[in-house]
Structure 1
Amino acid sequence: MPTQQPRAKAPAKGLPQIIRDQLRYEILNGTMATGTQLRQDALAERFNTSRLPVREALRQLESEGLVTYQRNRGAVVAGMDVNQLCEIMDIRIALECHAAKIAVPNMVQRDFAHLQEILDLYNASESVAEWGEYNRRFHLALCAPANNTKLRRLIEEFCLNTDRYTHEMMSLATGKEGPQSDHFEILEACKQRDAARVAMLLERHIMETKNNLLATDRMKRENAAAGEDEDVRDAA
């Protein structure tokens, strides 16, 4: 009998990756707000290290669009305008719909049960922040059976980046009934192994969020303009 070779261990994360992952988590869950200054000396002291791994972690976060550099301030948590968010949603549609077409034929009963479990937790929650997390989990679980790690990583980054700015605002505006109805319809199409329908429903679902975002921004600008007009009339 041939000797069984020991399974190779996954390479341990380096210090820059550990710092990057922790800062990414804090940025995406809102602990670090847009505009927060990320001073290298303070972060080096926090993580008990030199500035070099901190600098590398910030560079990686900059490449993900989570950190930007400002004159006289250095690294800060990046913000996004509506046009940038809409561009990212278009990319999400392309990535997630492609992943769904690959994933659906590979799905087994365990995948359906996992998706159902996420939606049940979503239904039971009364926390807007938790709705965002369950939404993220559902979309990632949907693409996982595509068995493409690089594709999933891209989706995870764009999904997280978008949800950071949009999901709480959209949830407060629309509640969870509309998005959840979409999710259950997508799950049913998965069970029917109708990959084309899953991709179509997914595109419609993300487009609805995009259109709600544009409408919210439009109304905000209209209200601001109306307020300025009223101030002018009062001054007159």
Structure 2
Amino acid sequence: MTTVQAKADQRSLPQSIRDQLRDEILRGTLPPGTQLRQENLAERFGASRIPVREALRQLEAEGLVSYQLNRGAVVIAMSTSEICELLDIRAALESYAAKLAVPNMVVADIELMKRILASYDVATTLPEWAECNRQFHLALCAPSNNERLKKMIEEYCLSTTNRYPHLRMSLNTQKEDVQRDHYQIVDACKRRAVNEVVSLLEQHILETKREVLAAARLGQ
């Protein structure tokens, strides 16, 4: 292995650890409240604590992990009200991003969203649904050409709220309902119908909020 390859592998190790832990959090293998001890994770992944610490820092930025006194890194547990507050923020940020993005879209943007939705159609597991959903919403926002806005949506909203609706969706709703919304949004994007895209997107996110509230009310 060359020095360059070794350095590349070293850089990719935190991302590899992060991706595995994120998958387990989304899947529910690591439920809210689980302690993520650096020494245990280092032993598990055959790594030093440095890449583990960086992976946990990235998960913290995504809102999946928090640091607690005397406990270290812990998988976040969010209340219904906290989830709903984030969904309100997400609706506002994504709607604004879409308003900026749609006029800038080209054929390649539309095709990318279609490819993501095609992957979503054949996905069979919760982590796959969550990842396809994340990719779709980021692809929709990308033509806004506002990296700071996109980063806020990705790190502050999408990663945190993404896991809860998809866990609920597997029990109470059909994947087809979510996909229908997505395809309607893409169709409106193709027609450059900015106001329609914004309206559809806002309804799509706030419908998730209504279902989260209903699930909590009905004890589901």
Shorter-normalised TM range: 0.7 to 0.9
The whole-number CA distance in structure 1 between the counterparts of 2:45 and 2:153 is: 29
Map Cα deviations across residues 190-222 of structure 1 (whole Å, 9 max, x no partner).
01111121111100110101001100110008x
- Residue equivalent to 1:75: 73
The whole-number CA distance in structure 2 between the counterparts of 1:38 and 1:83 is: 25
The whole-number CA distance in structure 2 between the counterparts of 1:85 and 1:180 is: 22
**CA RMSD between the two structures:** 2.8
The whole-number CA distance in structure 1 between the counterparts of 2:174 and 2:217 is: 20
CA 1:74 to 1:105, structure 2 compared with 1: closer, same or farther past 3 Å?
A: same
Contact 1:129 1:168 in 2 (8 A): no
The whole-number CA distance in structure 2 between the counterparts of 1:23 and 1:159 is: 17
Instruction: Indicate the structure (1 or 2) with the bigger Cα radius of gyration.
Output: 1
Q: Greater CA deviation, 200-209 or 172-181?
A: 172-181
- Residue equivalent to 2:140: 142
Q: Structure 1: which amino acid aligns with 2:159?
A: L
The whole-number CA distance in structure 1 between the counterparts of 2:143 and 2:29 is: 31
Map Cα deviations across residues 155-178 of structure 1 (whole Å, 9 max, x no partner).
122112111122121243110222
TM-score, length basis structure 1:
0.75
The whole-number CA distance in structure 2 between the counterparts of 1:119 and 1:101 is: 21
- Residue equivalent to 2:152: 154
Contact 2:32 2:76 in 1 (8 A): yes
The whole-number CA distance in structure 1 between the counterparts of 2:107 and 2:144 is: 15
Q: Structure 1: which amino acid aligns with 2:174?
A: G
Larger relative contact order (Cα-Cα within 8 Å, sequence gap ≥ 6): 2
Query: By how many angstroms is 1:13 displaced?
Result: 4.4
CA 1:118 to 1:14, structure 2 compared with 1: closer, same or farther past 3 Å?
A: closer
- Residue equivalent to 1:224: none
Choose from 77, 96, 118 the match for 2:94: 96
Is 1:166 aligned to 2:162, yes or no? Answer: no
The whole-number CA distance in structure 2 between the counterparts of 1:67 and 1:166 is: 18
Query: By how many angstroms is 1:46 displaced?
Result: 4.1
Q: Greater CA deviation, 37-46 or 191-200?
A: 37-46
Q: Greater CA deviation, 122-131 or 52-61?
A: 52-61
Contact 2:62 2:154 in 1 (8 A): no
The whole-number CA distance in structure 1 between the counterparts of 2:119 and 2:55 is: 34
How do 1:198-209 residues align onto structure 2 when only pairs under 5 Å count? 198-209=197-208
Query: By how many angstroms is 1:126 displaced?
Result: 4.2
The whole-number CA distance in structure 1 between the counterparts of 2:64 and 2:138 is: 20
Gaps of 5+ in 2: 1-9
The sequence identity of aligned pairs, in percent, is: 57
The whole-number CA distance in structure 1 between the counterparts of 2:55 and 2:131 is: 24
- Residue equivalent to 1:210: 209
- Residue equivalent to 1:177: 176
SS of 1:220's equivalent in the other structure is: coil
The whole-number CA distance in structure 1 between the counterparts of 2:94 and 2:114 is: 19
Query: By how many angstroms is 1:78 displaced?
Result: 1.3
The whole-number CA distance in structure 1 between the counterparts of 2:60 and 2:83 is: 16
CA 1:141 to 1:56, structure 2 compared with 1: closer, same or farther past 3 Å?
A: closer
TM-score, length basis structure 2:
0.80
Gaps of 5+ in 1: 1-11, 222-236
The whole-number CA distance in structure 2 between the counterparts of 1:32 and 1:14 is: 22
